[in-house]
């Protein structure tokens, strides 16, 4: 059956041009061409093989990661790949590795927090990978509470050095990726102490290992924190622990772009907001949002193709059974995830723009949009990673029993992805940052300060607090204004209710703690509004290609109406819509599912994923699932012999015992 496209009928049904949709998904023709070329390059290179990852021991997996990274770096140099191409190469190699922290956090931390001189010195080494760095912030006792970190950096004016020290066990650095076995250097976050005064958390560049033989430098204890969830998965990464016993570094290894310590030990505070020390996290959160659509689309691609291949029930007189994708329950679980993948793609594009904009403003000493950038990156990181992790697990269930096999690609994808809900800020902790931002914005309503950007809708509070939805028939839910108004009114009313409840407390902070759960819900409502509004804004752009806009339109309203259905309690309890209007939204949702159904396989083909990247028997492009499941099963080490190891020691005696018992 090799060579037959089992999904050809599905592809022939599509009502739009897949090649055009590929461009929209990639962001531009240029981005598509780069991605396509690099994906094929990776797929055709045997060093990047990954189908056997589950069967490797931790040590073998880790060594294979080192080999892949070294080979990738060699190819980057040989082929003179630029930054964009190198980034795509890393993406399609698809194996978490120390390089992520080196390029994704160590280098950005130096760029963002180092002086020009420091950048010149350290980036020239880091860019050539003559040193490899990680981001050592989290400690055994504190991750979320950055202000609670315990590692100290005490200035010694006698020698013009900082003494980096781990005063307690809980102060040990714990979790940093790339730290355990690879990094030669780290940006270490520690409490700066000079002249006996604690000035809080600052970043320092610290060498950890010898550049000659890779052994840890004196007074440094470093290692890997141990195996993490799932076979393969994130175990290719050497998350590490690190302890310092009065390790000395020159004063100029404090990252001094923001604040400084002089030769005399005087602390010179930053003349810009001190929160810029958190800048690397803002940058990475933004990349994590962009990445959510990659992970979700990958799971959705597998589940959609398999749902079209898989048939259950419905056959009469030996006839053909129903494709499971035709069941409305399957559509109701799958199509909102398909829509979410597209929604996250577009909100990721927008967030990248916002991040670039705020970076340019900061360079011009305009700090006005920093709080919004922080709230958006924190909130959207939280929203998209939670939905993506849940979505991958839902895709596994959508694939029935076979989804539980490692070769479906879904268990490993889930295990790799799920820590995104925790790293770069626990998702609840991050929504609480959004909630604080919203409470401030609500408190300023009526003060003459006009809310802008993603909170501009709050400026229309007088209308949004009393409006009633005008929807009268199902199709009215395809009106962008009707949808936006419902989401804006819900978000505002939830935020205002929280603010009112807060005001009942004498002590605001105590009130905040008491209302945490409501505040998180209000923050989520605000973030969902952002995603919906950015999807609608995308539709207003000039999008060409046969039938493409129509499909995106359907997906946009599936995303919005599915959220409305899922959070109906919010919409009804805040009187934004009536039960009748909710029921009309449901009717419209079902109609949209019917319209998406013939296009579903083509909509996931538009992601342009190679079989190598998907690494899934269920998600194969040709849909040839069953013979390949057998092929995979035969490859399992348990099938190396017909009679298993251990038979003579442990199975035979039991069977013999049973025989004797049976004779009695
Ligand atoms: C194969 C070879 C290839 C070779 C080459 C290939 C090239 C490859 C190219 C690229 C590859 C790169 C891939 C990139 C992928 C990235 C990797 C991702 C892996 C991630 C690994 C994980 C890393 C980590 O987890 S690092 C640790 C992260 N830790 C956290 O996130 C901690 C969370 N906690 C906090 O952020 C804070 O403590 C807090 C915000 C919760 C609380 O802050 P705090 O100051 O204590 O308290 P608060 O009073 O609430 O805030 C004070 C004011 O500060 C404001 N604020 C807080 N945070 C920020 C911020 N970030 N920015 C701006 N402002 C902030 C807050 O609003 C308050 O303001 P106010 O006005 O005073 O109210
Ligand atoms: C795979 C992985 C890679 C990582 N890589 C790095 C790295 O490279 N560098 C690095 O420095 N760190 C790294 N980390 C650490 C990561 O950043 C932290 O684990 C993360 O910030 C969460 O902090 P925590 O572990 O302290 O969680 P905790 O804060 O202890 O969270 C535990 C629970 O408490 C809740 N909670 C905490 N505070 C509050 C609050 N104020 N209000 C309400 N609820 C609260 C949380 O919601 C959560 O449910 C990594 C972590 C993982 C899992």
Q: Is the CB of 423 under 6 A from ligand 1?
A: yes
Parallel, antiparallel, or unpaired for β 185-194 and 133-136?
parallel
What tokens were used for 512? 């905040």
Ligand 2 atom closest to Cα of residue 427: 47
* Local structure of 200: helix, strand or coil: strand
CA of 23 relative to ligand 2 center, distance in Å: 37
- Confidence category of residue 213, pLDDT binned at 50, 70, 90: very high
Ligand 2 atom closest to Cα of residue 142: 26
Q: Per-residue pLDDT averaged across 297-322, rounded?
A: 93
Contacts of 22 (CB under 8 A, 6+ apart): 32, 606, 607, 608
For the segment 418-428, what is each residue's pLDDT rounded down to a tens digit?
Answer: 999 999 999 99
Q: Which of 478, 406, 503 is nearest to 55 (CA)?
A: 406
Q: Which domains does the chain have, with CATH numbers?
A: 132-271 (2.40.110.10)
Task: Output the residue whose Cα is nearest ligand 2's atom 16.
Answer: 423
Q: Is the CB of 73 under 6 A from ligand 2?
A: no
From start to end of 160-246, where are the E strands?
A: 161-165, 173-174, 185-194, 197-207, 220-224, 240-244
Distance in angstroms (rounded) separating the CA atoms of residues 628 and 403: 14
* Local structure of 313: helix, strand or coil: coil
Q: Is the CB of 429 under 6 A from ligand 1?
A: yes
What tokens were used for 239? 């998350």
Q: Is the pLDDT of residue 1 over 50?
A: no
Share of residues in the chain with pLDDT > 90 (%): 95
Are 203 and 150 in contact by the 8 Å Cβ rule? The answer is no
Provide φ and ψ at 224, rounded to 5°.
-90, 140
- Confidence category of residue 316, pLDDT binned at 50, 70, 90: confident
Provide φ and ψ at 113, rounded to 5°.
-120, -5
Report the chain's mean pLDDT, rounded to a whole number.
96
CA of 364 relative to ligand 2 center, distance in Å: 33
Contacts of 16 (CB under 8 A, 6+ apart): 545, 546, 547, 548, 550, 551, 599, 602
Residues in the chain: 664
What pLDDT does residue 275 have?
87
Are 162 and 153 in contact by the 8 Å Cβ rule? The answer is yes
Parallel, antiparallel, or unpaired for β 161-165 and 152-156?
antiparallel
Q: How many of the other CB atoms lie within 10 Å of CB of 82?
A: 10
Expressed in percent and rounded to 5, the helix, strand and coil fractions of the chain are: 60, 10, 30
Q: Is the pLDDT of residue 387 over 60?
A: yes
Maximum Cα–Cα distance across the chain = 93
Q: Which of 348, 345, 326 is nearest to 335 (CA)?
A: 326
DSSP letters, 382-404, are HHHHHHHHHHHHHHHHHTGGGGG
For the segment 482-518, what is each residue's pLDDT rounded down to a tens digit?
Answer: 999 999 999 999 999 999 999 999 999 999 999 999 9
**Residue with token string 């290179």:** 45
Q: Is the pLDDT of residue 658 over 90?
A: no
Handedness of CA 337, 338, 341, 343 (dihedral sign): negative
For the segment 319-368, what is each residue's pLDDT rounded down to a tens digit?
Answer: 899 999 999 999 999 999 999 999 999 999 999 999 999 999 998 989 99
For the segment 440-462, what is each residue's pLDDT rounded down to a tens digit?
Answer: 999 999 898 999 999 999 999 99
CA of 286 relative to ligand 1 center, distance in Å: 10
Q: Is the pLDDT of residue 270 over 60?
A: yes
Q: Is the CB of 425 under 6 A from ligand 2?
A: yes
Distance in angstroms (rounded) separating the CA atoms of residues 322 and 209: 60
Task: Output the residue whose Cα is nearest ligand 2's atom 47.
Answer: 428
- Confidence category of residue 274, pLDDT binned at 50, 70, 90: confident
Contacts of 516 (CB under 8 A, 6+ apart): 432
What is this model's ipTM?
A: 0.97
Residue 193 parent element (H or E): strand 185-194
Contacts of 160 (CB under 8 A, 6+ apart): 250, 251, 263
Parallel, antiparallel, or unpaired for β 260-261 and 267-268?
antiparallel
CA of 144 relative to ligand 1 center, distance in Å: 10
DSSP 103: I
Residue 424 catalytic?
yes
Q: Is the CB of 423 under 6 A from ligand 2?
A: yes
Q: Is the pLDDT of residue 664 over 60?
A: no
Which position among 424, 485, 488, 521 bears the catalytic label?
A: 424
Q: Per-residue pLDDT averaged across 246-271, rounded?
A: 96
């Amino acid at each position: 059956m090799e060579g037959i496209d089992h999904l050809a009928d599905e592809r022939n049904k599509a009502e739009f041009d897949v090649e055009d949709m590929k461009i929209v998904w990639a962001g531009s023709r240029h981005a598509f061409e780069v991605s396509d070329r690099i994906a094929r390059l990776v797929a055709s290179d045997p060093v990047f093989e990954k189908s056997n990852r589950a069967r490797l021991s931790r040590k073998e997996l880790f060594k294979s990661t080192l080999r892949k990274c070294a080979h990738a770096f060699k190819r980057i140099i040989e082929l003179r790949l630029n930054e964009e191409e190198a980034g795509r190469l890393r993406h399609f190699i698809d194996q978490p590795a120390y390089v992520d922290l080196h390029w994704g956090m160590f280098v950005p931390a130096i760029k963002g927090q180092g002086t020009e001189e420091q950048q010149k010195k350290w980036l020239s080494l880091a860019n050539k990978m003559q040193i490899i760095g990680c981001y050592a912030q989290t400690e055994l006792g504190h991750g979320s509470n950055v202000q609670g970190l315990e590692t100290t950096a005490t200035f010694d004016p006698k020698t013009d050095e900082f003494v980096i020290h781990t005063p307690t066990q809980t102060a040990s650095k714990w979790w940093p990726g790339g730290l355990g076995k690879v990094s030669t250097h780290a940006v270490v976050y520690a409490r700066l102490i000079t002249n006996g005064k604690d000035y809080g958390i600052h970043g320092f560049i610290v060498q950890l290992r010898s550049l000659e033989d890779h052994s840890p430098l004196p007074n440094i204890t470093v290692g890997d924190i141990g195996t993490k969830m799932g076979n393969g998965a994130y175990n290719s990464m050497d998350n590490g622990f690190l302890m310092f016993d009065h390790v000395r570094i020159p004063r100029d290894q404090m990252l001094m772009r923001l604040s400084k310590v002089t030769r005399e030990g005087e602390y010179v505070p930053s003349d810009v907001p001190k929160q810029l020390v958190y800048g690397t996290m803002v940058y990475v959160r933004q990349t994590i949002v962009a990445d959510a659509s990659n992970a979700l689309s990958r799971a959705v691609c597998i589940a959609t193709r398999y749902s079209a291949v898989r048939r259950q029930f419905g056959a009469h007189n030996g006839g053909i059974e129903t494709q499971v994708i035709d069941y409305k329950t399957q559509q109701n679980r799958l199509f909102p995830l398909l829509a979410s993948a597209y929604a996250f793609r577009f909100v990721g594009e927008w967030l990248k723009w916002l991040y670039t904009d705020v970076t340019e403003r900061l360079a011009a000493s305009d700090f006005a949009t920093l709080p919004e950038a922080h709230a958006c990156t924190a909130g959207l990181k939280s929203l998209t990673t939670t939905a993506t992790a849940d979505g991958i697990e839902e895709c596994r269930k959508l694939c029935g029993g076979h989804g539980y096999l490692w070769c479906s690609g879904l268990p490993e994808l889930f295990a790799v992805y799920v820590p995104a809900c925790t790293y770069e800020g626990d998702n609840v902790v991050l929504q609480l940052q959004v909630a604080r931002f919203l409470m401030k914005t609500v408190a300023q309503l009526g003060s003459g300060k006009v809310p802008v950007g993603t909170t501009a809708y709050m400026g229309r509070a007088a209308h949004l607090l009393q409006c009633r939805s005008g929807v009268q028939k199902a199709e009215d839910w395809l009106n962008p204004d009707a949808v936006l108004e419902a989401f804006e009114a819900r978000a505002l009313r939830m935020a205002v209710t929280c603010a009112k409840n807060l005001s009942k407390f004498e002590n605001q902070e105590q009130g905040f703690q008491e209302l945490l759960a409501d505040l998180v819900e209000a923050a989520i409502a605000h973030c969902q509004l952002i995603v919906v509004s950015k999807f609608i804004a995308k539709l207003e752009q000039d999008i060409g290609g046969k039938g493409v806009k129509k499909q995106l339109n359907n997906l946009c309203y599936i995303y919005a109406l599915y959220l409305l259905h899922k959070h109906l309690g919010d919409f009804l309890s805040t009187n934004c819509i009536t039960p009748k209007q909710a029921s009309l939204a449901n009717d419209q949702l079902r109609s949209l599912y019917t319209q998406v159904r013939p296009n579903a396989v083509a909509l996931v083909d538009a992601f342009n994923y190679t079989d190598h990247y998907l690494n899934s028997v269920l998600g194969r492009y040709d849909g040839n699932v069953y013979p390949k499941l057998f092929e995979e099963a035969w490859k399992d080490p348990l099938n190396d012999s017909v009679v298993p190891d251990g038979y003579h020691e442990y199975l035979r005696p039991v069977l013999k015992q049973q025989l004797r018992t049976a004779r009695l």
